[in-house]
């Protein structure tokens, strides 16, 4: 079981690295609460520049915790935490199994 738990930790390391940044946490929470938003809409809600918002969104998109949809000239970002939550549940279950043994 320990090998499986370590493998799960390794699989989730990129997500954990992305989410350790407070700005990305704030952007993710906003997208979870407000639904799909553009870079400009997000920039109006935070205290960082538009290029910084775009940079953080790209990192989160690459990590698989966001999705993006093109509507006309605008790109709408939304949280896409299904796979991340599935990973977190599997990690939690594996850790609980390790504790019981």
- pLDDT, tens only, 18-76: 999 999 999 999 999 999 999 999 999 999 999 999 999 999 999 999 999 999 999 99
Residue 60 counted as domain residue: yes
pLDDT range class, residue 2, cuts 50, 70, 90: confident
pLDDT range class, residue 100, cuts 50, 70, 90: confident
Examine the pLDDT at 99 and tell me if it is beyond 90.
Answer: no
Residue 66 counted as domain residue: yes
Residue 23 counted as domain residue: yes
Place of tokens 């930790």: 9
Q: State pTM to two decimals.
A: 0.87
- The domain that contains 48 carries what CATH number? 1.10.10.10
Domain span at residue 16 reads 1-95
Return the beta strands (E) in 8-94 as ranges: 66-71, 74-79
Examine the pLDDT at 98 and tell me if it is beyond 90.
Answer: no
Domains held by the chain: number: 1
For residue 67, what pLDDT is reported?
97
Nearest residue to 59 (alpha-carbon basis) of 23, 8, 5 = 23
Examine the pLDDT at 1 and tell me if it is beyond 90.
Answer: no
Residue 17 counted as domain residue: yes
Residue 100 counted as domain residue: no
Residue 27 counted as domain residue: yes
């Amino acid at each position: 079981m320990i090998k499986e738990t370590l493998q799960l930790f390794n699989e989730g390391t990129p997500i954990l690295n992305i989410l350790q940044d407070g700005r990305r946490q704030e952007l993710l929470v906003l997208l979870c609460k407000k639904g799909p938003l553009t870079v400009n809409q997000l920039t109006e809600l935070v205290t960082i520049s538009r290029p910084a918002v775009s940079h953080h969104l790209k990192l989160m998109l690459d990590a698989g915790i966001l999705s993006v949809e093109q509507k006309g000239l605008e790109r709408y970002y939304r949280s896409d935490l299904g796979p991340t939550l599935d990973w977190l549940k599997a990690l939690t279950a594996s850790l609980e199994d390790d504790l019981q043994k």
